[in-house]
Structure 1
């Protein structure tokens, strides 16, 4: 059985980061491999992660009553991470102590995003300094680094050393094919590829219908439209993980397993996060999303890839369109498109793991 080393952002205090890591590890295991998460550690990164988790809405400061709730959320993430298979720890900036593996799998997540606030420009995620017989990526992304900005030769050369490259968005595919001169296969995020690996925790909101709000810093026009739609149906807006004052209820300390149950139990979803859209799609939930500067590439490309463009709202979107999108649910064509992409992604994995 091949030993796989999965290299990703597994220690982020972020629901999407946790679930794409867990789904990929369990999904690879279902394909007959022995995956472990390569446990890179950095005091600098840990401090940055915890600072962001405790003060997620900067420059607005976290209200004092919310501080213990965010601290509880961090502890739940630490507990969940402890259940995942990890290698012996090694330094992020000095991977000499990393375990050797047969196949290095880089991804998913924004592993190649030069604009990531603390992982940007880290050569480890380009395979530098890691011993492996084969190096491949799965659902990697350059995040909000636009294809128009290109790629410096130093980074392009390191990606040419990969034996297989797959990405999760068209922006990243354009960068690889133009700057690296290699084919990049478009694949699904691990959560969409391996939805059967998702486990649920308790759902504190399960006693009555609700609309899920996931994300933060939503534009006011989006807030108003969502409140209008939910109010007409007497659906309380429940915000998870982050405080949104325009929501009716806050569940700030939900852990990753509680998050999964909460998303699955919602009547509808309002989000401006990539994995808010992912979990809406995998649960076949009606959803609306708004683009933000940091996540515009990821969300817009996911919507186009899945055929869900009408779920992306703008300031010009009329209330009738919110009604049509949220009341009708997902178009069956989206479900069929995801099934085809799942087949395509499995073919890629089967080929590179051989």
Structure 2
């Protein structure tokens, strides 16, 4: 009998990484013979984020940006409708989730920062599966993250009690692992890779038709970072293409500014890039997946989780902070930064991490 699995995560979003991690986890499980469905939970905080995105302050000063923002939302939603099996019912309040508590054999929460109690979303307990009874439905986490949270504070005991009802717990990063361990939990917690590493994207990727070689930028850059990328592009004879984030300082230097593209097109621009510049976690992930040389600009709230990926692979030098002395001089004279990224040993190390994560999910959490 085929197990029916429900997944609760951030899927209703304009974030490419969040969308693709939901797709990847669902597709990986389907490829391994499970009946999988995304539980369409859209909390008030998530809906508010989307509303702010659709109607940004002072949007009347830039109607073109407003139109692009709406087009991006349509593209993201169309991708979800086409590629994910989503529950027939939408849930806007957490107490209504009780209606689905007997529909699944297993429910998985994760991935992404669904446990980030330090975010404006706070502690949203459905992402800890509080609408289920662990005796009736197996509760599993796959690669959730506490994000920028460094202390559980008053939520510590409540989170501890919620996790005690889980069959199996895994997280995405060392910070999340440490926070749970500090709670005095008496069961084993696994660290696993982000679900986007679990599959390939041959079935959905739309390869760009850009013929010139280019630096791909994913992330909103400040003035110093934009000037840095411009200097690199001129030095190496590369065009600059930006995707998925509105550009201000970089805009005058762009060949293409693709703020509103669909996730399958987004993947295609990563696939064809000669070099990737990002300050987003999933920008780093997909640069590695497609084996592209990259730099990731340091961001205070993201440094910890990106180091979780960079350090085991020996890629710490790819994390740059332009406020540090001599970074620019070092970068522009270092031709190795445009060389192929992963050595055979690094690729083997990454594949080992991926296999451990697959084994956890299939042989431990779902056995």
Q: Please, what TM-score do these two structures have when normalized by structure 2?
A: 0.88
Q: Deviations over 1:233-276 (max 9, x none)?
A: 22121111222231413111111111011111111100000000
172 and 325 in structure 1: CA distance in 2 versus 1, 3 angstrom threshold = farther
Deviation at 1:305, TM superposition (A): 3.8
Q: In 2 relative to 1, CA 257–139 (structure 1 residues): closer, same or farther, beyond 3 Å? A: same
Tell me which residue corresponds to 2:179: 175
Deviation at 1:190, TM superposition (A): 1.0
Given candidates 259, 263, 280, the residue that maps to 2:266 is: 259
Rg larger in structure: 2
Unaligned runs of 5+ in 2: none
Residue 301 of structure 1 deviates from its aligned partner by 2.0
Contact 1:13 1:53 in 2 (8 A): no
Is the partner of 1:142 in helix, strand or coil?
coil
Structure 2 residue aligned with 1:296, among 298, 303, 307?
A: 303
From 319, 324, 341, the equivalent of 1:330 is: 341
Query: Which of 192, 197, 202 lines up with 1:192 in the alignment?
Result: 197
Given the superposition, is the C-alpha separation of residues 54 and 280 from structure 1 closer, same or farther in structure 2, using an over 3 Å criterion? farther
Return the match for 2:241 from 222, 232, 238. Answer: 238
Structure 1 residues 197 and 174: alpha-carbon distance in aligned structure 2, compared to 1, 3 A threshold: farther
Q: Which residue of 1 aligns with 2:16?
A: 15
Cα distance in structure 2, aligned partners of 1:305 and 1:145: 22
- The change in CA–CA distance for 1:44 and 1:166 in structure 2 (over 3 A counts) is closer
Partners of 1:290 and 1:149 in 2: CA distance? 30
Mapped pair 1:6 → 2:7: yes
Residue among 260, 281, 290 paired with 2:288: 281
- 1:218-233 matches, within 5 Å, as 218-233=221-236
Q: Deviations over 1:160-219 (max 9, x none)?
A: 21111111111111112221523221111111122246621352x623211111011x34
Q: For 2:107 and 2:232, how far apart are their aligned partners in 1?
A: 46
Decide whether aligned partners of structure 1 residues 146 and 306 sit closer, same or farther in structure 2, where only a CA change above 3 A counts.
farther
CA deviation map 1:289-319 (0-9, x unaligned): 0122332332222222443211101222243
Work out which of the residue numbers 206, 211, 216 in structure 2 matches 1:212: 216
SS at match of 1:334: helix
Which residue, out of 91, 109, 113, partners 2:116? 113
Q: Tell me, in whole angstroms, the C-alpha distance in 1 between the residues paired with 2:204 and 2:92.
A: 31
Contact 1:4 1:104 in 2 (8 A): yes
Alignment correspondent of 2:329: 319
Q: Separation in 1 of the partners of 2:58 and 2:297?
A: 21
- Matched residue SS, 1:82: helix
How many angstroms apart in 2 are the aligned matches of 1:61 and 1:175? 43
Contact 2:59 2:66 in 1 (8 A): no
In 2, are the aligned partners of 1:285 and 1:330 still within 8 Å (CA)? yes
Q: Is the 8 A contact 1:307 1:337 kept in 2?
A: no
1: distance between equivalents of 2:291 and 2:269?
14
- CA distance in structure 2 between the partners assigned to 1:298 and 1:59 by the alignment: 33
The 2-side partners of 1:271 and 1:146 are apart by: 24
Which SS does the other structure have where 1:224 is aligned? helix
Partner of 1:82: 81
Shift, 1:53, TM fit: 5.2
User: Is 1:353 matched with 2:360?
Assistant: no
- The match for 1:271 is 278
Asked whether the equivalents of residues 27 and 197 of structure 1 are also in contact (C-alpha less than 8 Å), the reply is no
**Cα RMSD between the aligned structures?**
2.3
For residues 197 and 135 of structure 1, the distance between their equivalents in structure 2, rounded to whole angstroms, comes to 31
Match of 1:128 in 2: 130
Would the alpha carbon gap of residues 180 and 60 (structure 1) be closer, same or farther in structure 2, given more than 3 Å must change? farther
Give secondary structure in 1 for the equivalent of 2:183: helix
Equivalent residue number for residue 152 of structure 1: 156
Residue 101 (structure 1) aligned with residue 104 (structure 2): yes
Q: How many residues align?
A: 349
> Cα distance, 1:159 vs. partner?
1.3
